[in-house]
Amino acid sequence: MQPIIAIRNLQKRYGEKQVLKGINLDVFPGQIIGYIGPNGAGKSTTVKILIGLLGDFEGEVTILGHDLRTDTLAIKSLIGYVPENAEIYDVLTPMEYLSFVGKLYQMEDAVIEERATRMLGAFGLLENKDQRMDTFSKGMRQKVLITSGLMHNPQIVVLDEPLSGLDANAVIIVKEILALLKREGKTIFYCSHMMDVVEKVSDRIVLINEGSIVADGTFEQLKQAEGDTLEKIFAHLTGEQNLTSVADAFVHASGK
Ligand SMILES: Nc1ncnc2c1ncn2[C@@H]1O[C@H](COP(=O)(O)OP(=O)(O)OP(=O)(O)O)[C@@H](O)[C@H]1O
């Protein structure tokens, strides 16, 4: 099977600092990849490259046969991106914002209206659809962002910590959306720190540490090789093995 995303020797520097040190990854159609790693590991940098936001990288990235360097525009229409807490034009209402985003994807007005209404309805936001978003909670904004990333029915969905600020019910809805998207054959690249969710939704887990991939496999495969929970596997492979004493030192640092 041809990979839908092929990443070859991907490297990225910010000044002197090399934050991606040669990532090689083939993602196959219909996979849900859980892309995890400690703070600063390079997850968001990888995502920003994949969605065409960062052009200044070394290596090769091909998405559905398009070269990311030369076919950025074609690739953007194939990918849906859900960021964590992005700036949203909060003087707009959800419908105005979604209409703006839909037009960027060249969607017809009637389709935008229908999809936006259906998706906002699923998140319980219908009664807020014509209110300015400057009064919205963090979770309500995140629901609008999720809608805006999925509305154009992309083949590949890239989510960077999409559950940030969401309440328990919304987390369940997002997990169900991911399962539905998978059933529709979409490919999902899912970055998160929420190990329990990654463990449940991903059919392949890629762990990155200091800019390199240190584990790649199904949860079952990682479990056999490294430990019984994803949290433990994560701690083992990223070098933080005594987290209780780190927490203890932190609490006692302020008291003595
Ligand atoms: N615009 C930038 N300029 C300079 N350094 C940057 C920039 N963006 C990210 N970095 C650095 O690159 C490294 C990787 O950052 P990145 O945001 O990709 O990590 P991450 O794995 O997504 O982390 P987190 O889990 O904290 O979101 C970090 O050391 C970060 O400080």
Task: Give ipTM to 2 decimals.
Answer: 0.97
Q: Is 37 in the pocket of ligand 1 (CB under 6 A)?
A: yes
Question: pTM of the prediction?
Answer: 0.88
Q: pLDDT value at position 109?
A: 95
Q: Is 209 in the pocket of ligand 1 (CB under 6 A)?
A: no
Query: What are the DSSP calls for 64-126, one per residue?
Result: TTEETTT-HHHHHHHEEEE-SS----TTS-HHHHHHHHHHHTT--HHHHHHHHHHHHHHTT-G
Distance 103 CA to ligand 1 centre (A): 31
Residue nearest to atom 19 of ligand 1 (CA): 40
CA distance 130 to 46: 35
CB 7 within 8 A of CB 63: no
Residue nearest to atom 30 of ligand 1 (CA): 40
Number of domains in the chain: 1
In tens digits, what is the pLDDT along the chain, a chain of 256 residues? 899 999 999 999 999 999 999 999 999 999 999 999 998 999 999 999 999 989 899 999 999 999 999 988 888 889 999 888 767 788 999 999 999 999 988 899 999 999 999 999 988 899 999 999 999 988 888 889 989 999 999 999 999 988 877 888 878 878 888 888 888 899 999 998 888 888 888 999 999 999 999 999 998 888 887 777 888 888 888 876 565 665 666 666 655 4
Domain of 155: which CATH number? 3.40.50.300
> For 158-187, b where at least 16 C-beta lie within 10 A, e where not — what string?
bbbbbbbbbeeebeebbeebbeebbeeebb
Q: Is 44 in the pocket of ligand 1 (CB under 6 A)?
A: yes
User: Please, what sign has the CA dihedral across residues 100, 104, 105, 111?
Assistant: positive
Full domain range(s) for residue 170: 5-253
Residue nearest to atom 10 of ligand 1 (CA): 14
Q: Report residue 48 as tokens.
A: 């920003």
Residue nearest to atom 28 of ligand 1 (CA): 40
Q: pLDDT value at position 100?
A: 93
Shortest-distance atom of ligand 1 to CA 48: 18
Distance 238 CA to ligand 1 centre (A): 16
Phi, psi of 193 (to 5 degrees): -100, -5
Distance 121 CA to ligand 1 centre (A): 35
User: What is the enclosing helix (H) or strand (E) of 188?
Assistant: strand 187-191
Query: What are the DSSP calls for 14-72, one per residue?
Result: ETTEEEEEEEEEEE-TT-EEEEE-STTSSHHHHHHHHTTS----EEEEEETTEETTT-H
Q: Is 83 in the pocket of ligand 1 (CB under 6 A)?
A: no
Q: Is 40 in the pocket of ligand 1 (CB under 6 A)?
A: yes
Sheet hosting strand 5-14, strand order edge to edge: 17-27, 5-14, 58-63, 66-67
